[in-house]
């Protein structure tokens, strides 16, 4: 066991820190950058015979559980933008509970690290019975979801041992961004955007390396938060998923109540919780929602909220309303890839909180890596 962990104390720690390499493996052979800018393209071998059908679908439905669901949520905006196809989200158990409508004209995309999660597998059977085109995105070659879908993409993140998913999450987002590029096709109107995303993908492992340097900073933040009862994380747009996933990490391993909140819903309930004691992380990196997040920060500050703001490098002064506000500065990348960067400080925070609180990092109580029963 010790050998596999290398010089790390825990698998979760190792898996967080190996993300520059796991992302490189995920993209290997799939991003093509030729001599001229025109030849920048994405190749997903497992999908090539089905791209036309996916483009013509009435809608795309993402289906998954836990972290895999959150990864799909992070990729939803870019898939909508590049494909123009409506994208809806389903938590596998909820789709089954409702027996929600799935049509022959739908493309159902099943996202699962293990490829064996019982609810996702049952939802797959349900979608197959209803005649949808079923696509699998898994980390496990030969898994039930990989075998039973019509086509798919392996994320190639390498084995993930820690129960809390970390490197699989970022690789899933990258695969779904590549999927959006593949489905979107290369029209003149989106050429500049596509190129920027592809260049961003090439550079992503370097940016991940850079953000991982915040390990000590996140340990210091964890020391501050060690005895808290609760933590809120506010995000929106591309980083709504980051809020949910960051909160899920803290909840599942550090055993601290934590809630990811869509910042646009702040006034519809969460604002009542704000006081000078409850720590609140606000995700406010640069994208189309930046000014809205600045206003959220102002409103939380006006109610004496205890703020921790994640912002793009260089923005600390413009987002920080007071000296008491703590800042997490992260490298700026293309907006649809920013969730890959932004989750990493939160993974580190969850990891250090868990160690400091004395809980089992790799095997949190009551949880399993793969939930194969309903
Ligand atoms: C369990 C794991 C989570 C994971 C979820 C979905 O709850 O503890 O880390 O996100 O299952 O698993 P899957 O293998 O389908 O991605």
**Confidence tier at 281 by pLDDT (50, 70, 90):** very high
Q: Residue 169: its pLDDT value, please?
A: 98
pLDDT in tens, 301-351: 999 999 999 999 999 998 987 788 999 999 999 999 999 999 999 999 999
Cβ contacts of 68 within 8 Å, gap of 6 or more: 111, 112, 113, 117, 120, 165, 168, 169, 172
Question: Which pLDDT score, from 0 to 100, does residue 37 have?
Answer: 52
Span from the CA of 85 to the centroid of ligand 1 (angstroms): 27
Q: Give the Å distance between the CA of 271 and the centre of ligand 1.
A: 30
**41-42 vs 31-32, strand pairing mode:** antiparallel
pLDDT above 60 (res 85): yes
Q: How far is the CA of 117 from the centre of ligand 1 (A)?
A: 7
Mean pLDDT across the stretch 188-197? 91
> Would you state the pLDDT for residue 3?
55
Q: Which of 58-67, 200-209, 283-292, 362-371 is the least confident region?
A: 362-371
Q: pLDDT (tens digit, 9 = 90+) per residue, 354-366?
A: 999 999 999 998 9
* 153: β partners: 137
pLDDT of residue 310: 98
Grade residue 241 by pLDDT with cuts at 50, 70 and 90.
Answer: very high
Q: For position 324, what pLDDT does the model report?
A: 80
CA of 66 to the centre of ligand 1 (A): 5
Residue-level pLDDT at 185: 79
Pocket test for ligand 1, best of 67, 73, 121 (most atoms within 8 A of CB): 67
Give the Å distance between the CA of 224 and the centre of ligand 1: 29
Q: What is the pLDDT of residue 188?
A: 82
Radius of gyration in angstroms for the set of CA atoms belonging to the chain, rounded to a whole number: 20
> Which residues, including other chains, have CB under 8 Å from residue 85's CB and lie 6 or more apart?
54, 55, 57, 58, 59, 60, 79, 107, 183
- Within 6 A (CB) of ligand 1 lie 65-68, 112-114, 117, 120, 163-165, 367, 369-371
Q: Best of 12, 64, 109, 113 to mutate for ligand 1, by most ligand atoms within 8 A of CB?
A: 113
Report residue 251: phi and psi, to 5°.
-65, -50
Selection from 263, 273, 356 nearest residue 310 by Cα: 263
Q: Which residue has the higher pLDDT, 188 or 21?
A: 21
Average pLDDT over residues 126-141: 98
pLDDT of residue 340: 98
Burial grade of 82 (CB within 10 A; 0-12, 13-18, 19 or more):
buried
Report CA(245)–ligand 1 centroid distance (Å).
12
CB count, 10 Å around CB of 272?
A: 9
Please give the distance, rounded to the nearest whole angstrom, from the Cα atom of residue 374 to the centre of ligand 1: 13
Q: Is pLDDT at 2 greater than 70 in this prediction?
A: no
- Could you tell me the pLDDT band of residue 221, with boundaries at 50, 70 and 90? very high
Nearest-atom number in ligand 1 for the CA of 140 is: 14
| Average confidence (pLDDT) over 291-295 | 95
**Range 303-336 burial, b when 16+ CB lie within 10 A, else e:** eebbbbbbbbeebeeebbeeeebbbbbbbbbbbb
Q: Which stretch of 216-225, 227-236, 249-258, 357-366 has the lowest confidence by average pLDDT?
A: 357-366
- Count of beta carbons in the 10 Å neighbourhood of residue 74: 30
Looking from the CA of residue 65, the nearest atom of ligand 1 is 6
What SS3 string covers the chain?
A: CCCCCCCCCCHHHHHHHCHHHHHHHHHCCCEECCCCHHHCEECCHHHCCCHHHHHCCCEEEEEECHHHHHHHHHHHHHHHHHHCCCEEEEEHHHHHHHCCCCCCCEEEEEEECCCCCHHHHHHHHHHHHCCCEEEEEECCCCCHHHHHCCEEEECCCCCCCCCCCCHHHHHHHHHHHHHHHHHHCCCHHHHHHHHHHHHHHHHHHHHHHHHHCCHHHHHHHHHHHCCCCEEEEEECHHHHHHHHHHHHHHHHHHCCEEEEEEHHHHHHCHHHHCCCCCEEEEEECCCCCHHHHHHHHHHHHHCCCEEEEEEECCCHHHHCCCCCCEEEEECCCCHHHHHHHHHHHHHHHHHHHHHHHCCCCCCCCCCCCCCCCC
Atom of ligand 1 nearest to the CA of 66: 10
Q: Which of 13-22, 147-156, 188-197, 274-283 has the least mean pLDDT?
A: 188-197
**Residue 229, pLDDT above cutoff 60:** yes
Separation CA 321–CA 17 (nearest Å): 32
298 CA distance to ligand 1 centroid (A)? 36
Determine the atom of ligand 1 nearest the C-alpha atom of 68. 16
Query: Using one digit for the tens of pLDDT, what is the confidence trace for 22-67?
Result: 999 999 999 987 765 566 889 999 998 999 999 999 999 999 999 9
Lowest mean pLDDT among 77-91, 132-146, 175-189: 175-189
Query: Beta-carbon neighbour count of residue 371 at 10 Å?
Result: 16
> Which ipTM was obtained for this model?
0.95
> Which among 116, 160, 371 is the best mutation to test ligand 1's pocket, defined by most ligand atoms within 8 Å of the CB?
371
Of 285, 331, 349, 332, nearest to 311 by C-alpha is 285
User: Residue 116: CB partners within 8 Å, gap ≥ 6?
Assistant: 140, 143, 144, 145, 370, 372
* Residue 252 pLDDT > 90: yes
Q: Residue 23's pLDDT is what?
A: 98
């Amino acid at each position: 066991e010790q050998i596999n962990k290398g010089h790390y104390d825990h698998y979760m720690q190792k898996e967080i820190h190996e993300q520059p390499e796991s992302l490189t493996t995920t993209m290997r052979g799939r991003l093509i950058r030729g001599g001229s800018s025109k030849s920048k393209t994405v190749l997903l071998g497992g999908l090539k015979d089905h791209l036309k059908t996916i483009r013509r679908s009435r809608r795309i439905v993402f289906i998954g559980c836990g972290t895999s669901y959150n990864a799909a949520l992070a990729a939803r905006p870019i898939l909508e933008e590049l494909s123009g196809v409506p994208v809806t989200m389903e938590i596998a158990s909820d789709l089954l509970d409702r027996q929600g409508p799935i049509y022959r004209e739908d493309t159902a995309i099943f996202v699962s690290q293990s490829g064996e999660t019982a609810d996702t597998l049952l939802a797959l059977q349900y979608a197959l019975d209803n005649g949808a085109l079923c696509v699998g995105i898994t980390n496990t070659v030969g898994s039930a979801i990989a075998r039973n879908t019509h086509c798919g993409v392996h994320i190639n993140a390498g084995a993930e041992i820690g129960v809390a998913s970390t490197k699989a999450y970022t690789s899933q987002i990258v695969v779904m961004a590549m999927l959006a590029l593949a489905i979107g096709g290369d029209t003149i109107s989106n050429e500049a955007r596509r190129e920027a995303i592809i260049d961003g993908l090439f550079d992503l492992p370097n940016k991940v390396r850079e953000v991982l340097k915040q390990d000590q900073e996140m340990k210091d933040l964890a020391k501050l938060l060690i005895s808290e009862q609760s933590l809120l994380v506010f995000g929106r747009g591309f980083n709504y998923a980051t809020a949910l996933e960051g909160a899920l990490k803290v909840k599942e391993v550090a055993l601290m109540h934590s809630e990811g909140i869509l910042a646009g819903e702040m006034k519809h309930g969460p604002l009542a919780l704000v006081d000078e004691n409850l720590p609140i992380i606000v995700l406010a990196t640069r994208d189309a929602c930046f000014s809205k997040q600045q206003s959220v920060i102002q409103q939380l500050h006006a109610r004496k909220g205890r703020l921790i703001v994640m912002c793009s490098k260089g923005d600390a002064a413009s987002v920080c309303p007071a000296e008491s506000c703590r800042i997490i500065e992260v490298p700026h990348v293309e907006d649809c890839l920013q969730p890959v960067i932004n989750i990493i400080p939160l993974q580190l925070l969850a990891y250090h909180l868990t160690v400091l609180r004395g809980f089992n990092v790799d095997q949190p109580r009551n949880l399993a890596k793969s939930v194969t029963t309903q």
